[in-house]
Structure 1
Amino acid sequence: MVAAGLALLPLAAAPAQAAAKIQHLISPGGIEAWFVQDSTVPLIAMEYAFGGGATQDPADKPGVANLVADLIDEGSENLDSKAFHEHLDRRAIELSFAATRDYFRGSLRMLRDNRDEAFDLLRMSLTSAHFDAADVERIRSEVLSGLRRETSDPGSLAGRKFLKIAFGDHPYGRPASGTLESVPKIDVADLKDYVRRVLAKDTLKIAVVGDVDPATLGQLLDKTFGGLPAKASLTPVPNIVAAAPPQRAFIPLDVPQTVVTFGGPGFRRHDPNFMAAYVVNHILGGGSSSRLYREVREKRGLAYSIYESLLWMDHSALFVGNTGTRADRAGETVDAVEREVRRMAEDGPTGKELDEAKSYLKGSQMLALDTSSNLAGALLQYQLDRLPIDYIEKRNAIIDAVTLDDAKQAAQRLWGKGLITVIVGRAPQAVAQPAAATAPSSTAN
């Protein structure tokens, strides 16, 4: 019997992995969650997110959200860091946090019998994290060590430079993990202020899958999240269109393999032609059957792997690709990528390519939801994307509705203007001095 005050609305069939239905649960205290009750195994998985993420870092202190995510489970209430993690380990409770561009996210996974302690440890983290000086300095040292490693990592350098070109001084152009200059300036007051402003109930989205009844889950959600502030105090973030291609930058780095990151403006999630872009992007760069993989790796042997994907955010969107090659073949690799992108923009995909991409994308969705954690993660993402709770049921029909004309129009819009390209590695003449039509070479910031 459902507890008084608990609204539970079965709305959509879940994937075959979960025999139950996706339900819209509202706890007695008003906490909402998408929920699949599944007793196949005695596990519970919860994914949740607060709006804000790294965009809420002070402009002169990127890395605050990332540091909060690393520190928020380092002791709370009467438990210091060591004791807190001993409680997690003793009960095999998996608790983690991460700061993305737009969200402060968390994950909790436990055996059914350990649910009360697991949810209580999460509550403690969210409402009474210590941020003890010794823990802050220890984690800060680890973050700085990682940032120093990134200064010699071509992939990291390329990614940072690409975002800087695409977004400039917008919060999306700042590195979410911070910089070697900003992280030492972050103090405990910054961490506590971030928690105070960002961790609030009005932006909270939750997805739960596992062996728990709805009444019990409603009580757990109230105990865990009920004490948080009612409303977040977020700094507004403007929408932005990524910088227009073509642009090219070169970062000299003496490493065996040259890394090439390429991309440009993409499709926002609620763009009417988003699914057409999603399908045609899979054809161009979505896997081992993609055009880029076939042309760059299989035909020419220029790279071991190459991929391209759509990246959508709350305030912008990109398509981003990446590959690695020998320094003396970097120019040839870039030429091959640009040629294939241009061909797709001009001609679009074939009918056969479109049919095969649709078939793959429909089948892979179900295979990707094969565990409680994966299903919870997908249900959370659908909420963040503001999709309906029955989206899983509707998705295949939306894919099927993409026509060849839709795909061609999306291809032209995505790739018709060329690429933003960042090359990191040794400097053969052809790479160090790109064609005059591109932007002048520049070094990393």
Structure 2
Amino acid sequence: MRQIFLSITAVFVLLAAPLRADVDIQEVTSPSGLKAWLVEDHTIPFMALRIGFKGGTSLDRADKRGAVSLMMAMLEEGTGNLDARGYAQAVDELAASFKFDASDDAISISARMLSENRDEAIELLKGAIIAPNFDQDAIDRVKGQIQSMLQSDLKDPNEIARAAFDRAAYGNHAYGSNGDGTPESIAALTQEDLFAAHQDTVARDRVFISAVGDITAEELGALMDTLLSDLPATGAKMPKRVEVGLDAGVTVVPFDTPQSVALFGHRGIGRHHPDFFAAFVASTILGGGGFESRLMEEVRDKRGLTYGVYSFLATRENSEMVFGQVASANDRVADAIDVIKAEWERLVEEGVTQEELDHSKTYLTGAYPLRFDGNGPIANILVGMQMQGLSTDYVNTRNDKVNAVTLDEINRVIKEVYLPDELHFTVVGQPEGL
């Protein structure tokens, strides 16, 4: 579930804020047909660029787990006549920054650059995207770094819980294993595997682009063609949908630690389902509203069973879940789980109150505009919106959708989305009484 944690798009605060993001998004098409979203802002000679390719680590080939993740980590390790050090130095000299990431459903590239250095920075970025070197010495070094991280994960209760929970939920689907691979799978990857992963994932038929800052629509169109027109037209076939396969109950994974970690959840609701916003507001009330949520109040504040507990709607490209996490001392985690179960049941049986609904709406609508706090974050949000199939006006209508949720609607949806009889817990530690 690591990627799920990283892909959560709601940042919650308790302070009031303007209720609209007021972002003017232009849709741009390049001469070759590439499409992008643009927010022009010429107040500072600086631009943020975000490029996403749908598919992600779920496109790893059979027996090549971790290849896409390793490939993305290698993109900054040199291109052309530049080795890793030379490439990093060239980027630094331009006062630019590039970041390459991989998650279950997408690989992404973030770039920031000054207007005066834009052409040179784009040439460097193009080399990394189109023609990475994948030198063997760099491969060996990066593989060693990833293997060290994965070995550390084998001793981390949170990562052990994540791995066990994912296996139970998704079995042999790519979601059921770590996109970074295992120490063994990483060791077996070759240079040829990285070129294959690059071919499978970095293609024009799955690219989404956004730019924010000091650039015009015409300039962005030319930039996109310069940067990406040499990509192959198509990549690998997209992964298939998978249903959550959790059974109700508790699974204990023994591990020598004074505190147990518990992940919990069941099947959820899709991002484009007509009841999504009602379920989203309900999720905030139950476990997504920080210290104001029911779970925090009942598990932490009233009983002192944990420092933190949360739950949320985990929507992914090919599956969806209601998911949560809690950690507690071994002799108290059973009590924490009992309270979570009871709150799940109470939510369904009693619903929420008008006061809770109103408070949650204020909470969500006040926090949303605060996400648009710079060129880079805005560019990231815009690509995420495109990948989710949202329209350009979503930023200015999202809060209206939250405010439109009624008490009757949310309490009806709660009974359909929250399923106490299907709630599964994976507990790692030495829990007493489970």
What TM-score, normalized to structure 1? 0.90
Q: 1:283 aligns with which of 282, 285, 290?
A: 285
* Structure 2: distance between partners of 1:41 and 1:343: 52
For the Cα contact (< 8 Å) 1:280–1:407, is it kept in 2? Answer: yes
Shift of 1:387: 0.7
Which structure is higher in RCO with an 8 Å CA cutoff and minimum separation 6? 2
TM-aligned CA distance change 1:149 to 1:394, over 3 Å: same
- Please name the residue that 2:242 is paired with: 240
Shift of 1:340: 0.8
For the Cα contact (< 8 Å) 1:20–1:37, is it kept in 2? Answer: no
Within-5 A mapping of 1:80-159: 80-159=83-162
* Structure 1: distance between partners of 2:97 and 2:399: 33
Shift of 1:170: 1.3
For the Cα contact (< 8 Å) 2:311–2:322, is it kept in 1? Answer: yes
Shift of 1:119: 1.5
Q: 2:341 aligns with which of 338, 341, 345?
A: 338
Deviations 1:202-246 (A, max 9, x none): 1110111111122222211111111111222x2342212202441
Shifted more, 238-247 versus 370-379: the winner is 238-247
For the Cα contact (< 8 Å) 1:345–1:414, is it kept in 2? Answer: no
For the Cα contact (< 8 Å) 1:75–1:129, is it kept in 2? Answer: yes
For the Cα contact (< 8 Å) 2:21–2:372, is it kept in 1? Answer: no
Instruction: List alignment gaps of at least 5 residues for structure 1.
Output: 1-14, 432-445
- Please name the residue that 1:56 is paired with: 59
Shift of 1:274: 1.0
* Structure 1: distance between partners of 2:319 and 2:431: 33
- Please name the residue that 1:443 is paired with: none
For the Cα contact (< 8 Å) 2:281–2:360, is it kept in 1? Answer: yes
- Please name the residue that 2:423 is paired with: 419
Within-5 A mapping of 1:33-432: 33-232=36-235, 234-286=236-288, 287-416=290-419, 417-428=421-432, 430-431=433-434
* Structure 2: distance between partners of 1:120 and 1:421: 49
Instruction: List alignment gaps of at least 5 residues for structure 2.
Output: 1-17
TM-aligned CA distance change 1:257 to 1:226, over 3 Å: same
Give secondary structure in 1 for the equivalent of 2:31: coil
The one-letter code of the counterpart of 1:248 is V
Within-5 A mapping of 1:432-443: none
For the Cα contact (< 8 Å) 2:19–2:366, is it kept in 1? Answer: no
Deviations 1:116-158 (A, max 9, x none): 2221111101111011111111000000100000011111111
Shifted more, 164-173 versus 397-406: the winner is 397-406
1:30 aligned onto 2:25: no
Shift of 1:418: 3.8
Give secondary structure in 2 for the equivalent of 1:309: strand
TM-aligned CA distance change 1:258 to 1:274, over 3 Å: same
TM-aligned CA distance change 1:345 to 1:363, over 3 Å: same
Shifted more, 18-27 versus 145-154: the winner is 18-27
For the Cα contact (< 8 Å) 2:51–2:208, is it kept in 1? Answer: yes
Shift of 1:247: 3.2
* Structure 1: distance between partners of 2:120 and 2:321: 41
Deviations 1:336-392 (A, max 9, x none): 111111111222211111111112111111011111111111111110100111111
TM-aligned CA distance change 1:141 to 1:108, over 3 Å: same
Shifted more, 411-420 versus 195-204: the winner is 411-420
Shift of 1:20: 6.7
* Structure 2: distance between partners of 1:360 and 1:171: 35
Runs of 4+ in 1 over 6 A off after TM superposition: 15-20
Give secondary structure in 2 for the equivalent of 1:270: coil
TM-aligned CA distance change 1:315 to 1:308, over 3 Å: same
For the Cα contact (< 8 Å) 1:97–1:105, is it kept in 2? Answer: yes
Shift of 1:19: 7.5
Deviations 1:284-334 (A, max 9, x none): 011110000111111111111111121111111012111211111111111
The one-letter code of the counterpart of 2:241 is N
Indicate the RMSD between aligned Cα atoms, in angstroms.
1.7
Give secondary structure in 1 for the equivalent of 2:68: helix
* Structure 2: distance between partners of 1:241 and 1:211: 44
Give secondary structure in 1 for the equivalent of 2:291: coil
Identity between Structure 1 and Structure 2 (%): 35
Pairs aligned (count): 415
Shifted more, 179-188 versus 401-410: the winner is 401-410
For the Cα contact (< 8 Å) 1:53–1:99, is it kept in 2? Answer: yes
For the Cα contact (< 8 Å) 1:25–1:35, is it kept in 2? Answer: yes
